[in-house]
């Protein structure tokens, strides 16, 4: 699943991106209402998380123009404007759901997945070398069966499966595998990668270390 998050608060961006990507969901970011439509058109996301209070162009204007252009992507509005009138206005403008801030991250994920299911987007995630991230639980499947992974091994593998064949920086992986732990050192990722590499034995993929760059999953013949 691919989400477009239109939100101008950097802390909120980081929190939501980290939370969703830990569950195997790709998040594209946009912090400016004036550029939101261009990002929307170019990325063709499965769902859009849209803040209303945006610089340059208000979120409702973005939504109204998107619907006028025929963009039918499911939209969930995230905003501090939580009155009944605001909710009605957002839904009448073309939103599919509405969640007032502050909100529970698990509820947000559940609502997003429900929107995507109702929209008819494919439920199955792509497979890479027999590996697949379950869309509902975030578990990593090996030939359709859940792998026996620790929480950190699963977080690392999900991050790599989101970009198969592409390098993911060690600093990025550190934030995903050890979220909120400011004391952990980058070398900790190496330990998790070592253990994960052993659990990938027998699959047509291998975990490759790129010195100075990070890690990637590479297909093997």
What is the pLDDT, as a whole number, of residue 125?
Answer: 58
CATH classification of the domain holding 173: 1.10.10.10
Among the three residues 102, 119, 136, which one is the final residue of a domain in this structure?
119
Q: What is the DSSP string of 70-96?
A: T----EEEEES--SHHHHHHHHHHT-S
How far is the C-alpha of 43 from the C-alpha of 5, rounded, in Å? 11
What is the pLDDT, as a whole number, of residue 122?
Answer: 47
Count CB-CB contacts under 10 A for residue 171. 10
Exposed, middle or buried, 164 (CB in 10 Å: 0-12/13-18/19+)?
middle
If asked whether residues 89 and 164 sit together in one domain, one would say no
Asked if residue 84 is part of any domain, the answer here is yes
Among the three residues 119, 138, 168, which one is the final residue of a domain in this structure?
119
Which of 146, 126, 99 has its CA nearest to residue 24?
126
Could you read off the pLDDT tens digit of each residue along the chain, which spans 221 residues?
A: 899 999 999 999 999 999 888 888 899 999 988 889 888 988 889 999 999 888 888 888 999 988 887 788 999 998 876 566 767 777 888 889 988 888 888 889 889 988 888 876 544 456 788 888 876 567 888 888 899 999 899 989 988 888 788 888 888 888 888 877 778 888 899 999 999 999 998 888 999 999 888 999 988 76
What is the pLDDT, as a whole number, of residue 132?
Answer: 85
Helix (H/G/I), strand (E/B), else coil: 47: strand
CATH classification of the domain holding 39: 3.40.50.2300
Query: pTM score, two decimals?
Result: 0.56
If asked whether residues 106 and 9 sit together in one domain, one would say yes
Count CB-CB contacts under 10 A for residue 102. 7
Strand partners, 205: 219
Q: Is 140 left (phi over 0), alpha (psi -120 to 50) or beta?
A: beta
How far is the C-alpha of 174 from the C-alpha of 21, rounded, in Å? 13
Helix (H/G/I), strand (E/B), else coil: 164: coil
Rg (CA), the chain: 19
Q: What is the DSSP string of 180-194?
A: T-TT--THHHHHHHH
How far is the C-alpha of 183 from the C-alpha of 1, rounded, in Å? 31
Strand partners, 47: 3
Asked if residue 52 is part of any domain, the answer here is yes
What is the pLDDT, as a whole number, of residue 208?
Answer: 93
Residue numbers of the domain that contains 88: 2-119
């Amino acid at each position: 699943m691919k989400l477009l998050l239109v939100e101008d608060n950097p802390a909120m961006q980081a929190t939501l991106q980290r939370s969703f990507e830990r569950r195997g969901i790709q998040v594209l970011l946009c912090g400016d209402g004036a550029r939101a439509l261009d990002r929307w058109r170019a990325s063709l996301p499965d769902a859009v998380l849209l803040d209303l209070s945006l610089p340059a162009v208000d979120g409702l204007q973005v939504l109204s123009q998107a619907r006028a252009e025929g963009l039918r992507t499911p939209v969930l509005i995230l905003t501090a404007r939580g009155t009944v009138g605001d909710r009605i206005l957002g839904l009448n403008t073309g939103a599919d759901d509405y969640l007032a801030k502050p909100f529970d991250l698990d509820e947000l994920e559940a609502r997003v997945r429900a929107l995507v299911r109702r929209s008819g987007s494919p439920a199955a995630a792509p497979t890479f070398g027999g590996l697949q991230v379950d869309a509902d639980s975030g578990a990593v499947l090996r030939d359709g069966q859940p792998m026996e992974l620790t929480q950190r091994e699963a977080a690392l593998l999900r991050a790599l499966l989101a970009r198969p064949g592409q390098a993911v920086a060690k600093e990025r992986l550190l934030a995903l595998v050890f979220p909120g732990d400011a004391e952990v050192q980058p070398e900790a990722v190496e330990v998790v990668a070592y253990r994960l590499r052993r659990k990938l034995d027998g699959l047509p993929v291998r975990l490759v270390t790129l010195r100075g760059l990070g890690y990637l999953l590479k297909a093997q013949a």
